Amino acid sequence: ANHDPLTGLANRRRFREHFDICMRQSERQHEPLHLLILDVDHFKLYNDHYGHKGGDEVLCHLASLLQRFAKRPLDLAVRLGGEEFGLLLYGAHPRDIEEQLLQLQENLKQLHLPHATSPTSSHVTVSMGAALISPQDTLDSAIANTEKAADNAAANASVAASNATDAAKNAAADVKDAAKDAGNAVASAADSASITASVNAGLIKDTELSAIKIDVDTKDGVVTLTGEAPNQAAKDRAGDI
């Protein structure tokens, strides 16, 4: 059998035969040969939550998506095993490969496959890597090199996500501190305004006393009144407050 019974894609046996054909063709025609590898992220967690039937459905969705990208006669989509898939692309140049990766990610996102137990996303995601196959490569070395590229891409994405999370937390803390400072300033200004209003409202009713110059200081949350009376009588009356 040359096909995976679950997804209908080529299996490893078919892939190995096709790989040898493409390697010879590539060498004769001087055409590039690339291998893309996709691995479903946190697939065990998905199976544990949704069951194996749910996991199989995800694999079939991904296989159908991958098959649409095998457009040239020598392109081949393959299930390498478990949740790992491969896509052999004949004659594609590096800029084409980058576009393929981006398009795959976008198309997968549009499938809206939920993943409630994923620690990194609310929907199913994949880690992807691509590598140019050299004339010296065997199938095994080509897979190993591409898997390494996929692992590096996943690690870089994890670091970027962590950095973005830290930046968001720091920004939130800065906003919180700024709001606290603004609140303290408003409270301080309100205290000062309240004291001034009390003085002006006639709590100090004596004519001479109301002429006293009063300074209000609310530093460190402590209200201090200082002033100077215009004459001794006012000073004596002020001492009674």
Phi-psi region of 91 (alpha: psi -120 to 50; beta: other; left: phi over 0): left
Reported in sequence order, the residue ranges of the chain that DSSP labels E, i.e. its strands, are 33-40, 76-81, 84-90, 126-132, 213-217, 224-228
Closest alpha carbon to 192 in 213, 217, 214: 217
Please pick, among 17, 31, 57, 83, the residue that the annotation labels catalytic: 83
Q: Say how far apart CA 192 and CA 228 lie, in whole Å.
A: 19
- Distance from the Cα of residue 127 to its chain's centroid: 14
Kindly provide the b/e burial profile for residues 196-214, where b requires at least 16 CB atoms within 10 angstroms of the residue's own CB. eeebeeeebeeeebeebee
Q: SS3 for 10?
A: strand
Q: Say how far apart CA 41 and CA 30 lie, in whole Å.
A: 35
Helices (H) and strands (E) in the chain, counts: 6, 6
Q: Is 17 a catalytic residue?
A: no
Letter for the amino acid at 121?
S
Letter for the amino acid at 7?
T
- Distance from the Cα of residue 74 to its chain's centroid: 36
Give me the active site residues, please: 83
